[in-house]
Amino acid sequence: MMIIYFIGALAGGVFGYFVMYRIIGCATGTCPLTSNPYISTIYGIILGILIAGIFTTPRKQSVPENDSTPGRIMYKRITAKEAKARIDSGDNVIILDVRTKEEYDQEHIPGSILIPNETISDTKPELLPDTDAEILIYCRSGNRSAQAARKLIALGYTNVYDFGGIIDWPYDKATTN
């Protein structure tokens, strides 16, 4: 990385002397900032280092939500219809509500368990002992479910699906009395 800065400084110095001082015409003394060849060269070096810094700044690479890179566990988003099909399939799936207790008591999807998003931290939740279990996560609108899905994946859960919010769930709902 230092070599890039060195090359930038060298190229900038050459640019400063030959372009800013010689070619633009400041050698005649008409440009007060660059009438001195040393100052023009220093300006060029600084400019070259700044440009080299732009090229060496690491770029954040975006990863698609449903990336299927082997060995990499990624966040997966599914629709309410797909979640309902998984629930009705007869397979063993966990329906996870990550809203607050009050929201859960008002209405929830039948058969779901409650683990509020705020309680998911750096330890695996007791209600989810199997990291390979299929977990379907929802909240009210889809924000907390996405956060919770990413937290669970970071904890090592391998089969996590976010199906958004209960406001988009057109199927049966239950209440807690």
User: Rounded to the nearest 10 degrees, how much is the dihedral formed by the CA atoms of 98, 103, 106, 112?
Assistant: 10
Residue 63's pLDDT is 45
pTM (two decimals)? 0.60
* The pLDDT of residue 57: 63
pLDDT digits (tens, 9 = 90+) for 39-80: 767 777 777 777 777 666 665 544 455 544 445 677 799 999
Answer for the pair 100, 139: CB distance below 8 angstroms, yes or no. no
Q: What is the pLDDT of residue 6?
A: 72
Q: What fold characterizes domain 80-168? A: Oxidized Rhodanese; domain 1 (3.40.250)
CA 11 to chain CA mean position, Å? 36
pLDDT of the residue at 62: 47
* pLDDT for position 161: 96
Tell me what pLDDT residue 20 has. 61
Q: Which residues pair with 113 in a beta bridge?
A: 96
Domains of the chain, residue spans = 2-56, 80-168
Residue numbers annotated as active site: 139
Cα separations in angstroms, 79 against 82, 99, 107, 138: 5, 18, 19, 11
**Tens of pLDDT, residue by residue, the chain (177 residues):** 677 767 777 776 676 666 665 666 555 656 665 566 677 677 777 777 777 776 666 655 444 555 444 456 777 999 999 999 999 999 999 999 999 999 999 999 999 999 999 999 999 999 999 999 999 999 999 999 999 999 999 999 999 999 999 999 999 999 886
Please list the residues that pair with 136 across neighbouring strands: 95, 161
